[in-house]
A = this chain, B = another copy of it.
């Protein structure tokens, strides 16, 4: 769990950077950037906790999240050009964060007695809803509704985790690493081969 916590904080940091940069692109000020940074980083887990009814929401019990997010906002303001150069690194950590948030959402839901199909949805919600709120506040149609294999990667990685833990009782760090690697592989494959989900029209 300890390594999952470290990865969770890294994901939180990178998600907060993504929120801060989206806000800056819309000419928001420091407060707007910090607010969007917070909601991007904590929004998914917050909505998960609210749907499950496990409030006060998880981050109230750990100020580390607060300082990690504020650090990410300040880091982005101070080293903005650096965050553009670190594109590949941020993509890597963003995807790891995506996988870790999915795992944490699934585990928490299963422990509360939620059935696997809804637990899978809750894992995906934990991972992607922060970005949906970010784009909504930025007055954009959420990116993940339009392109990128993003939520789909979470759903497939989460499904593998659920199969391993529910059918084979393999519930350890190896299953976590496998789920994260699947999310990472699908995202890289989607970019390399320009994979897209079908649209109706």
Q: How many copies does the complex hold?
A: 3
Residues A29 and B196 in contact in the complex (CB < 8 Å), given A114-B60, A138-B141? yes
Within 8 A of B (CB), among A26-40: 26-33, 35-36
A139 touches B137 (CB 8 A): no
**Cross-chain pairs A/B with CB under 8 angstroms, 14 sampled:** A24-B199, A24-B201, A26-B141, A31-B144, A32-B146, A33-B200, A60-B115, A66-B118, A76-B200, A77-B198, A136-B136, A137-B141, A137-B145, A139-B141
Tell me whether chain A's interface is mostly helix, strand or loop, or mixed: helix
Residue of B nearest to A114 (CB): B60
Q: Please, which residues of chain B bring their CB within 8 A of the CB of A147?
A: 29
List of 8 A-B pairs having minimum Cβ-Cβ separation, nearest first: A53-B55, A32-B145, A24-B200, A29-B197, A28-B145, A30-B197, A139-B141, A53-B56
Q: Please, which residues of chain B bring their CB within 8 A of the CB of A199?
A: 24, 27-30
Residue of B nearest to A24 (CB): B200
Q: Please, which residues of chain B bring their CB within 8 A of the CB of A151?
A: 31, 35
The total of chain A residues at the interface (CB under 8 A) is: 56
A56 vs B21: C-alpha distance in the bound complex, in angstroms?
34
